[in-house]
Amino acid sequence: MAEARTELRARIGEELALPASAPARALCEQIRERHGSAVVAVLFYGSCLRRQTAEGVLDFYVLVDDYRAFYPGRVLAFVNALLPPNVFYLEADTPAGALRCKYAVMSVDDFASANGTRSIRPAIWARFCQPAQLVYVRDEDTRAAITEACVDALRTATLRALPLIPEHHGVQEIAPEPFWQTLFGETYGSELRTESSERIQTLYQAAPARYDRALRSTLAVLDAEGVLDAQLAEPTTRVTHRPGWLARARRARRLRRPTAKLLGFVQLLKSALTFGDWLPYALWKLERHTGTRPDLTPRQQRHPLLFGWPVLWRILRNKDLR
Query: Which pLDDT score, from 0 to 100, does residue 85 have?
Result: 94
Whether 143 contacts 14, CB under 8 Å: no
Query: Which pLDDT score, from 0 to 100, does residue 321 have?
Result: 47
The candidate with the shortest Cα–Cα distance to 84, out of 117, 59, 119, 58, is 119
Taking CA atoms, 315 is separated from 5, 9, 299, 310, 321, in Å, by 43, 41, 18, 9, 7
Vertex 173, ends 170 and 176: CA angle to 5°? 135
Positive or negative: CA dihedral 223, 117, 146, 46 = positive
CA–CA dist 102, 92 (Å, integer): 11
The amino acid occupying position 87 is: V
Q: Are strands 237-240 and 229-231 parallel, antiparallel or unpaired?
A: antiparallel
Residues in the chain where the model's pLDDT stays below 50:
307, 321-322
- Domain ranges in the chain are 2-264, 292-322
Characterize 206-218 residue by residue with b for buried, 16 or more Cβ atoms within 10 angstroms of its Cβ, and e for exposed.
beeeebbebbbbb
User: Looking at the domain 2-264, which fold is it?
Assistant: Beta Polymerase; domain 2 (3.30.460)
Query: Which pLDDT score, from 0 to 100, does residue 206 have?
Result: 94
The candidate with the shortest Cα–Cα distance to 4, out of 172, 193, 224, is 224
CA–CA dist 27, 48 (Å, integer): 13
CA–CA dist 308, 32 (Å, integer): 34
pLDDT per position as a tens digit, 35-73: 999 999 999 999 999 999 998 899 999 999 999 999 998
Query: Which pLDDT score, from 0 to 100, does residue 261 have?
Result: 81
